[in-house]
Structure 1
Amino acid sequence: MSDIREQPKIFEVPGNPAPKGLVVRYLTTSDRKRLRYAISKGENSSRGTVLLLQGRNESLEKYFETMVDLNARGFAVVTFDWRGQGGSERLIAQSSLGHVKHIGQYLIDVECMMQEVVLPDCRAPYNILAHSMGGLIALHASSRLVNQVERLVLLAPLIGFAPSLPSLATLDRIAHTARWLGLSTRPVRRSIPGRLPNPADNPLTSDLTRYKRNRLLAQIAPDLFVDRPTVAWLASMTRAMRRLESSAEIAALSIPSLFVIPGADQVVSPSAAERLAFRMRCGSSLTIPRARHELLQEADVFREQALEVVDAYIGADASLAAE
């Protein structure tokens, strides 16, 4: 249920103002967790609505610029902070840790946003644009959204971790053993990815202006962000990724999906995303060479390519449906 009585705070930094007319509210999910969400309709949303699913340790403020760009292309944008991060309700006392019990909790977030906000308040057709962890969740949510969502665009989706980490099977085994031992809310030893390094070497974006802007946001609003994930989060993600190795799981995916893969991604596995897209009957992939993990925070030469791909993939059908 949407709660309009309390106005959530938003945080702006120089060079990243909130879109004009932005509506920010709280939503209480079916299992009583409070999510912060935003709607940006712009001056013309005749091409429908994009539900933007964030990655791990993100907040809606990071997507102000993207909201403005999509509004200019004729799309309304709805986005929200996942439970446990951003301006949404934390799940454990150690609020600095990224935690979830299982991926089903994130699926509740998506379903409640669709049912309580997107479907009643926003114009059809509906498409999902998802980044990293949001892409993994979108795939698992797709069977529940098949009659509501037209297409998925998955940017750098979390289908596998970077090759520099242990194998997915090894991480899955370690995480589930630790959870069985009662360590669910303990932090993993190594963050995935770790703390942001020096600007010149960061794996997220080659655009230092956007990089520094996001660092400034973290400095002025540290409560929006989390540090290391918990054992339970890692176990949830590894199990969700391994489920996508199953032919039966892949066969159940029926919403047309485009995987947009940064060619220089060091955070998640580009090859794992390519393999899944190839195995899906409704999937395809496109690689943007030399781009880093956060395509919507990247330098304009890469970011504009990603936006054009989004526009072309969901825009043609959306335009016809809006006529």
Structure 2
Amino acid sequence: MRLEQIETFPELKDGKCREMQAFDDHIVRTALWPATTPTPRGTICLLQGRAEYIEKYYEVVSELRAKGFAVATFDWRGQGGSDRLLENPRKGHIGRFSDYGRDLEQFLHEQVLPDCPRPFFALAHSMGALILLNQLPRLRTIFDRAALSAPLVQLATDRRKILGKRVSQITIRRLTGLARLLMMGQKFALGVDKRSVTGSWSFDTNPLTSDGPRYDRNRLFLEAYPEKGIAGPTFQWVHEACKAMSNLQSSDFQSAVHTPTLMMPVGFDQIVSSKATAILAQTMRCGHAITIAGSRHEILMEKNIYREQFWAAFDAFIPGSKDD
């Protein structure tokens, strides 16, 4: 396994690309970068969203290292440079959402804790934030703080449609559960992109970013390395994601989270519900929320005017030591 490069990406030659053999023998691609300063401020564990890949975050890795942090990251099973779970490599699939969490814990214990400087912080986007949130009660002794970019707390209204009609997330969960019972769990969910790994949107219609150069950069990478991309999710993935989101509403879960957590929803998110994120931040004892007004879903792939707001909040929230 290796890290790929295209001309428009920052060069990060000193990153170490590794393999991690997961509990069920699937291979997960990981990467570690040292800090660029002689006295590191700690390590950021960078957790990507659905259908993403390590290389997409080269710019973010460069920025974090410039702030004095080491960076540790990996591709979730079933996407990026990690093993696919089905014969069709374009399907976004998962057996159980807890499998993601097991991979995260293994990565932390096998590669981050022994090889990276303390203290440890998490920066997670969308699906990565959902996975992290569900694991935080178990990771309270590892992460000092967590910053979440547009976390997948609840699907946006426009994502909850069947045959053009809006439905509740509970209905989505029940219908995808029925699909599993009918042995359709490994089939693409209704209405998702089944072919394109670069997305079915043009730049003008995409819900992810309003920044043309960054959008084109990521599109060109997947055109050069289509094996790093995936298309839409399966019924099973949607069902498991809905279960994981539902768990966040549990009072038992919320009372078990002790890690200070900053959630950064955006003002123009067509993928996840920013309102639900703000509510969750209010109900969690250690939760806080700052909305990045005007940004689309992928804050870190957005125009600089939005990214600067994100980094200002991040810098104020995540210190390099417990004494800051």
TM-score strictly above 0.5:
yes
Q: What runs of 5+ residues in structure 2 fail to find an aligned partner?
A: 161-166
**Contact 2:122–2:146, Cα closer than 8 Å, also in 1:** yes
Q: Is the 8 A contact 1:42 1:68 kept in 2?
A: no
The amino acid of 2:182's aligned partner reads: L
Match of 1:167 in 2: 168
Contact residue 151 and residue 256 of structure 1 kept, 8 A: yes
- Mapped contact 2:193–2:231 kept (Cα < 8 A): no
1:154 aligned counterpart, secondary structure: strand
Equivalent position of 1:4 in the other structure: none
Which one is further off, 188-197 or 87-96? 188-197
Partner Cα separation in structure 2 for residue 160 and residue 18 of structure 1: 35
Who is 1:64 aligned against? Answer: 58
Distance in 2 (CA, whole Å) between partners of 1:177 and 1:222 is: 32
Structure 2 residue corresponding to 1:225, chosen from 226, 229, 233: 229
Report the 3-state secondary structure (helix = DSSP H, G, I; strand = E; otherwise coil) of the residue aligned with 2:288: strand
**Code of the aligned partner of 1:267:** I
Give yes or no for contact 2:193–2:200 (8 Å, CA) kept in 1.
no
Spell out, residue by residue over 1:218-262, the C-alpha distance to the aligned partner (whole angstroms, 9 max, x if none).
Answer: 111111111111111111000111111222221122211110111
Q: Deviations over 1:7-39 (max 9, x none)?
A: x13222222133241111111123322111111
Residues 103-112 or 190-199, more deviating: 190-199
| Percentage of identical aligned residues | 39
For 1:3-22, what aligned pairs fall within 5 Å after superposition? 8-22=1-15
Look up the SS of the partner of 1:205 in the other structure: coil
Aligned to 2:185: 184
CA distance in 1, matches of 2:146, 2:24: 26
Q: Which residue of 2 aligns with 1:78?
A: 72
Distance 2:181 2:50 in 1: 24
1:124-176 deviation per Cα after TM superposition (whole angstroms, max 9, x unaligned): 00011000000100001111111111111110000011111232111101111
Residue number in structure 2 paired with 1:32: 25
Return the alpha-carbon distance in structure 2 between the equivalents of residues 314 and 54 of structure 1: 18
1:27 aligned partner, one-letter code: M
Q: Identify the match of residue 315 of structure 2 among 297, 311, 322.
A: 311
| Corresponding residue of 2:88 | 94
Task: Tell me if structure 2 keeps the 8 A contact 1:21–1:42.
Answer: no
AA aligned to 1:296 is: L
Give the stretch that moved more between structures: 49-58 or 188-197: 188-197
> Quick one: structure 1 residues 304 and 196, their matched pair in 2 at CA, closer, same or farther if it must change by over 3 Å?
farther
1:122 Cα deviation from its structure 2 partner: 0.1
Instruction: Calculate the TM-score normalised by the size of structure 2.
Output: 0.93
| Off by >4 Å, runs of 4+ in structure 1 | none
Matched ranges for 1:197-212 at <5 A: 197-212=201-216
Structure 1 range deviating more: 242-251 or 139-148: 242-251
Q: CA deviation at 1:114?
A: 0.3
What TM-score results when the alignment is normalised by the length of structure 1? 0.93
Q: CA separation in 1, counterparts of 2:191 and 2:109?
A: 36
Structure 1 portions without partners, runs of 5+: 1-7
The answer as to whether partners of 1:129 and 1:152 remain within 8 angstroms in 2 is yes
Cross-structure match for 2:143: 149
- Greater shift after overlay, 208-217 or 177-186? 177-186
Q: What secondary structure is seen at the aligned counterpart in 2 of 1:274?
A: helix
Q: What is the CA-CA distance between 1:189 and the residue it aligns to?
A: 1.7
- Match for residue 132 of structure 1? 126
Query: What SS does structure 2 have at the residue aligned with 1:112?
Result: helix
1:296 aligned onto 2:300: yes
Q: Tell me, in whole angstroms, the C-alpha distance in 2 between the residues paired with 1:43 and 1:249.
A: 37
* SS state at 1:79 partner: strand
* 2:110 maps to 1:106: no
